[in-house]
A and B are shown apart, each in its own frame.
Chain A
Amino acid sequence: MTTTAPPTSPRPTRRARVLPPPIAGQELVLVAVIALMWVVLALTTPAFASAGSIQPLLVATAPIALAGIGMTIVIITGGIDVSVGGMMMVCAVVTAKALVAFELALPLALGLSVAVGGLLGLVNGLLIAYGRVHAIIITFGTMNVFLFVGLQIFASRTVNGIPSTLQFFGRGVAGRTLGVPHAFVLTLLIAAIAWWYLRHTAGGRHFYAIGGDAQAARLAGIDVRGRILAAYVVTGLLVGLASCFLIAQGTSSLDQSVGNGKELAVIAAVVIGGTSIMGGRGSVLGTVLGALLVQTVTSGVTQLGWPSQLSDLFVGIFIIVAVGADLLRERARRRRLRAKGAAA
């Protein structure tokens, strides 16, 4: 990466090079697409523009976006975590059973779920960082193990009579202040912190460095294993919180399908948000927008009266379009660089 920059004004040019613009092209496009979809949906289905339709949409976006923040960090390091669905199941069932059995207070329930998630993330992180095996293999394995643990705790019965402790993050009136769902606000807050951390601290940049080239990062003195471990633990913690949102959104009972297929939904949100699956590039902001886009599609398809399964088709198409656009941009960028290199 040695660029032959003119030595006249090194500081400003270097700063401009190191950090990408705060909002990348992909995110602007996503904002435009979401806005367009909202306008079209508002015009075609009168019910969409009402608060009663937007609020559940934001609430439903929160868990995917939240888990997506962790997944973004993991994918930036060049890894992936397909065990998110299994983790959600374990966190949700443990928390739900504890709520039923001990009638925990809200902070305790949150703490329990986050702790369980962190523990599961630690298992992933240790195996991946110290086992030197590709993340996708390890998390395929742990996914099965987590599903086993979750189903064992379920013991073939749905958890019934969950107290309404978590209503603060639910769909109901208790879950909103001034009409804004708490779950979504908390997600935005965490996303903002993660965005700032990833972009403006040395620790955050290390994740990008590892994803760019782990060997080079190690030689540059970065604690690669520690950082990778941290990425998976953070994912676990956030999945724990997201599981509380899932419980809150549901009815007073929880069945074995919780978390089912969520890993793919989360990965879809991340890649639609412009994070490169190859690692080294990506932003949390895009992930939140990606989750919002996916949820808008799901909600829109239902409100248009189309079969709800059709939304998956659109999610697939959006993944292709979003990543395809990114590929083309990247190719153009490389061509420009090469042209510049040839000219110099």
Chain B
Amino acid sequence: MSTSTQAPTPAGPDPAPRPAAAERGDSIGARALRAVLTQRITLLAVLIVVVVLSYVALDAGGYLTAPYDPDYLSASLINAVPLAMLALAELLVILSGRGGIDLSVGAIVALSGMVFGFMYGQWGWPLWLAVVATAGFGALCGALNGFLVAYIGFPALIATLATFYAFKSLAIVVNQQSPISTPPIQELYSLTRSVEIPVIGGQIPDVPLGIFTFLLPTVLIVWLLLARTTYGRRLYAVGTNDVASLWAGQPVRATRFGAYALAGLISGLVAVVTVAQFASARPDAGVSGNGMALPAITIAVLGGVAITGGIGRVAGVVLATLLIVWLNAGILLAFVGNEGSQYQLLALGVVLVAAALLNGFAGRRYGVAD
């Protein structure tokens, strides 16, 4: 419903003169405000700086239970790996438009994790083969979503709600509710250790290995896919207006199908990461508590992905993940016990609602819907 009129003369019952003035934007302050309010990347970058600086200040004042220093920030990045990857999966799906959303990613993580547990932990497959097969299995699960949504015409919310239930149930039943934690699986925990970066490693803190083995490749590939390939442009086109894309001769169904299958593939990779983190293939990984899907969608939306499709960038998602991970890391230090994890919920909720409202406000103030 948001008006996306780029023109300085807004169409509407009350033509406010302010957008026109902001368009010229002579003063630096006004221009900076405009950039922060209308460009999600700028806003997120500013927020990250604010969050980190305020924690550093709190730390200096002695209010935190442990130092909030570069080492801690770097170590907490391990939490960003699954979060950012699933948020990228949601980015692809939400971009594809027509109410695109994937509630089932957490359940795919759980089910693929069990499959990985069988292949690597019990059947003794080589690691690379097991990882590839798990990613393939995840893609298969995603393809089921894609088939239902793109070819049969199910609303995405419903199709993925149904597969969420189905995958979650299968994950629990497949090994009689028990986790797989044989020695090879337990040894995977070494994947989560921190490593020193060569050459410049002396000056900066060690970085969790998972960042290099899983997160960065995913980020890079998704970015290349969206920004540098025909498929990416097609996905934006389909998400913006699928009827127009169809008439422009684009393979709308295949494009949308691909988004869901890719989301499944990424979820399969996340399954490997979670198995390594827990040192065990747990049937309830990804669906316990609030699950993994809802935080991932939250991060994607916070990163500026429009729920209506066609708008969203990889950089926004990555920055939103950093913001939430570092915000949460600080909260853990600021509160004792499980108070911290509760305040993380509050922070996530407030940040999401505030960002969404700000989006709407900025859209009306400047006549630009981000």
Contacts and interface: CB of A to CB of B under 8 A. Distances in A.
A, B co-complexed = yes
Interface of A: 80, 82, 127, 131-134, 136-138, 140-148, 151-152, 156, 214-215, 260, 264, 267-268, 271, 277-278, 307, 309-313, 315-317, 319-320, 323-324, 327, 331
A110 to B, nearest CB: 28
Contact of A316 (B166, B294, B348): B166
A277 B166 contact: no
A295 B176 CA distance: 22
B65 interface: no
A319 B165 contact: yes
B176 A137 contact: no
Given A319-B162, A320-B148, A144 B352 contact: yes
B1 A132 contact: yes
B349 A271 contact: no
Given A137-B307, A309-B173, 15 more contacts: A127-B357, A132-B2, A136-B157, A138-B356, A147-B342, A148-B346, A148-B349, A267-B161, A277-B158, A278-B155, A310-B169, A312-B168, A319-B161, A319-B165, A331-B153
Nearest to A140: B298
Interface residues of B, number: 50
Interface in B285-310: 289-290, 294, 297-298, 301, 307-308
B352 A313 contact: no
27 contacts: A80-B157, A127-B353, A134-B308, A140-B297, A140-B352, A141-B349, A141-B356, A142-B349, A145-B345, A145-B346, A147-B345, A151-B342, A152-B342, A214-B1, A264-B165, A268-B162, A271-B161, A278-B99, A309-B168, A312-B165, A313-B166, A313-B173, A316-B163, A316-B166, A319-B161, A319-B165, A320-B159
B153 to A, nearest CB: 6
Residue from A307, A312, A327, A331 whose CB has the most chain B CB atoms within 10 Å: A312
A317 B348 CA distance: 32
B177 interface: yes
A270 to B, nearest CB: 10
A131 B338 CA distance: 32
Contacts of B153: 327, 331
Nearest to A327: B153
A307 B173 contact: yes
A323 B158 contact: yes
Contacts of A138: 353, 356
A251 B103 CA distance: 32
A309 B345 contact: no
Contacts of A312: 165-166, 168-169
Contacts of B168: 309, 312
A260 B99 CA distance: 25
